[in-house]
Structure 1
Amino acid sequence: MRRGLRAFLVAGALGVLAGCVDKTPQASDADMARLSYVSDDPPSLTLVTSISNRSGAGAHSALIINGPERAVFNPAGTWRHPLAPEQGDFHRNFSPGMEKWFFDYHARETFRIRAQTVEVPMSVAAQALEAARAYGSVPPAQCTRSITVILRDLPGFEDFPVSWFPLHASASFAKLPGVTTVLYTDDSPDDWSDLDLEFND
């Protein structure tokens, strides 16, 4: 397990440094049906933005959706875990432990992570889940565009601007009523040698 998961991480390392990249292996229908996580927290949407510590530029966007289940839409990203099965760019079973692992994976000495959360009605979260699941695989460099397209179609987000740029989307999300923001920083090395490769939520 340790050797396999280390290879699993290393295979995506260069892609994470580049921000939005090409596709990762896809889970079977059986794995997608077998694993899911339902949270007791209020339904919400969380925009995750990776920001370069070297240039200050936005590098990647992802969307955590907490509704009838908790999942993450990580378009054109390389992060993956055997317990968070993925089809298209939609990962199920996104538990609090998996989220911690997700942030720890992305926050490095070269990147910081901004997580902006807004509570939404359950019906809006459910619609976001279905839209993210149906979106499919996102081409490289279109991570932010795909997320903003999904947001713009949601009730209450009709005026949300579609953008290709992570920091533009983050600035727009910051204007939503009730949004809360958390910044994750980490001085861990870019070789992922600090991660617990035996993580099992």
Structure 2
Amino acid sequence: MRGILLAVLCAVALSGCAVKPEIERSDDAVAQAAYRHAGPPELRLYTMKNNSTGSGAHSALMVNGSQRVIFDPAGSFRNEAIIRRGDVIFGVTPVMLDTYTRFHARNAFHVQVQTLPVSAELAEAILRASMTMGRQQDARCAASISSMLGQFPEFGISQTWFPNTLAEQFAQLPGVTSQSLREYGSDENSAVLAAYDPARVAAQRSAQPE
């Protein structure tokens, strides 16, 4: 087990799947950031993969329910313009989602996106569950998501520390579709966050599905 944890932590060091300083957000800020997307209720599992080795570096789960959020355990997608409480990112408009994807897809990594349509009731239950998870520790991205989804017997997801293993389990669920997103810019992704414009996000509160 020690060897497994060491391997996971090495991957964390390379991928940025590690806890960063948190900015405290008021209840009003979180409420104002809420974004209701017009698309169908669904889950999207994001798996960041090393282009050279294929190894999984990070996992995140987007939930589209009464609002659209990303559960991003131990993720590094943080700045003052991003409303995040615990490890839930709020205000996931199309601009926010595009920024999130481009932050992770670069020369060294691509992003596998697996989409699963779910009922409105199930999406809402998973949305609530993600908000109760709190802030997760380093290397717990896949472990936290798989643990949360494991609360729902209809998924049959077993807890795992490994993003690729989680993606493989998710792929077995009926109705899942998958695509890979790639960017070939610099591996220095801080510029993506620096260019993030919250005014564009606010302007998309009533945006249609992308």
Partners of 2:83 and 2:13 in 1: how far apart? 18
**Unmatched 5+ residue regions in structure 2?**
1-11, 202-210
Task: Write out the 4+ residue segments of structure 1 that deviate beyond 4 Å after TM superposition.
Answer: none
SS of aligned partner of 2:180: strand
What's the counterpart of residue 107 of structure 1?
A: 105
Residue 162 of structure 2 is aligned to residue 165 of structure 1: yes
Residue 148 of structure 2 is aligned to residue 147 of structure 1: no
Aligned Cα root-mean-square deviation (Å): 1.8
Q: CA deviation at 1:55?
A: 1.8
What's the counterpart of residue 137 of structure 1?
A: 135
Of 175, 179, 185, 2:176 maps to 179
Percent pairwise identity: 33
Of 22, 25, 28, 2:22 maps to 25
Q: CA deviation at 1:40?
A: 1.2
Partners of 1:139 and 1:19 in 2: how far apart? 12
Contact 1:117 / 1:179 at 8 angstroms: preserved in 2?
Answer: yes
Q: CA deviation at 1:182?
A: 1.4
TM-score scaled to structure 1, two decimals? Answer: 0.86
SS of aligned partner of 1:31: helix
What's the counterpart of residue 90 of structure 2?
A: 92
SS of aligned partner of 1:71: strand
Q: Which amino acid aligns with 1:100?
A: D
What's the counterpart of residue 186 of structure 2?
A: 189
Partners of 2:180 and 2:24 in 1: how far apart? 31
Of 56, 59, 84, 1:58 maps to 56
Contact 1:24 / 1:78 at 8 angstroms: preserved in 2?
Answer: no
**Unmatched 5+ residue regions in structure 1?**
1-14
Partners of 2:56 and 2:130 in 1: how far apart? 21
Query: What is the number of residues matched between the two proteins?
Result: 186
What's the counterpart of residue 79 of structure 1?
A: 77
Partners of 1:16 and 1:102 in 2: how far apart? 19
Q: Which amino acid aligns with 1:133?
A: M
Question: Per the alignment, do residues 197 and 17 of structure 1 end up closer, same or farther by CA in structure 2, a change over 3 Å counting?
Answer: farther
Partners of 2:95 and 2:13 in 1: how far apart? 20
CA deviation profile, 1:12-49 (whole Å, cap 9, x unmatched)? xxx88434201332342231122110011110111100
Partners of 2:173 and 2:126 in 1: how far apart? 16
Aligned pairs (5 A) from 1:10-49:
17-29=14-26, 30-49=28-47
SS of aligned partner of 2:154: coil
Question: Per the alignment, do residues 80 and 170 of structure 1 end up closer, same or farther by CA in structure 2, a change over 3 Å counting?
Answer: same
Q: CA deviation at 1:160?
A: 1.2
Task: Compare 136-145 and 147-156 and name the one that shifted more.
Answer: 147-156
Q: Which amino acid aligns with 1:119?
A: P
